[in-house]
């Protein structure tokens, strides 16, 4: 089963410490080598983004940054695991690495199942 892990954080938290970058690179390298991690990356700042919404029958394009956002998605990973519990454990490990190597960092991870077009709509 494939899951997307979305890493959320305060966008103004500053750059990650080099020790965190090294620890995450090692952990992700192991996850890629084992086949658990399929894809991963960081997302650019909201100042370089846009939101496209449909409200009241009108399509609206809003350029970032989005001042109303307290937390933003700063990174993602697509993982392939046997179960939901295993997906949650993989995400928990990412957060623990942040805890260990970025003192004071606050954020979270959201784990969501991925469905492909051939799978049909996701279950509620």
3-class DSSP state of 35: coil
CATH code of the domain in which 50 resides: 3.30.70.1060
What DSSP element (H or E) covers 84? helix 84-101
Angle at 118 (CA atoms; ends 3, 7), nearest 5 degrees: 20
Structural domain for 94, as ranges: 2-115
What DSSP element (H or E) covers 34? helix 18-34
| pLDDT tens column, 81-117 | 999 999 999 999 999 999 999 999 999 999 999 988 8
What CA–CA distance (Å, rounded) separates 108 from 54? 28
Query: Domain tally for the chain?
Result: 1
Examine the pLDDT at 123 and tell me if it is beyond 80.
Answer: no
Examine the pLDDT at 68 and tell me if it is beyond 80.
Answer: no
Q: What pTM was estimated for this model as a whole? A: 0.87
What CA–CA distance (Å, rounded) separates 33 from 56? 47
């Amino acid at each position: 089963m494939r899951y997307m892990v979305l890493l959320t954080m305060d966008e103004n938290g500053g750059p990650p410490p080099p020790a965190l970058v090294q620890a995450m690179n090692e952990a992700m390298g192991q996850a890629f080598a084992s086949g658990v991690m399929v894809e991963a990356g960081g997302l650019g700042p909201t100042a370089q983004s846009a939101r496209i919404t449909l409200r009241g029958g009108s399509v609206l394009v809003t350029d970032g940054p989005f001042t109303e956002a307290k937390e933003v998605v700063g990174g993602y990973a697509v993982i392939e695991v046997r179960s939901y519990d295993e997906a949650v454990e993989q995400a928990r490990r990412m957060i623990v690495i942040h805890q260990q190597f970025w003192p004071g960092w606050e954020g979270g991870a959201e784990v969501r199942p991925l469905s492909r077009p051939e799978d049909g709509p996701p279950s509620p």
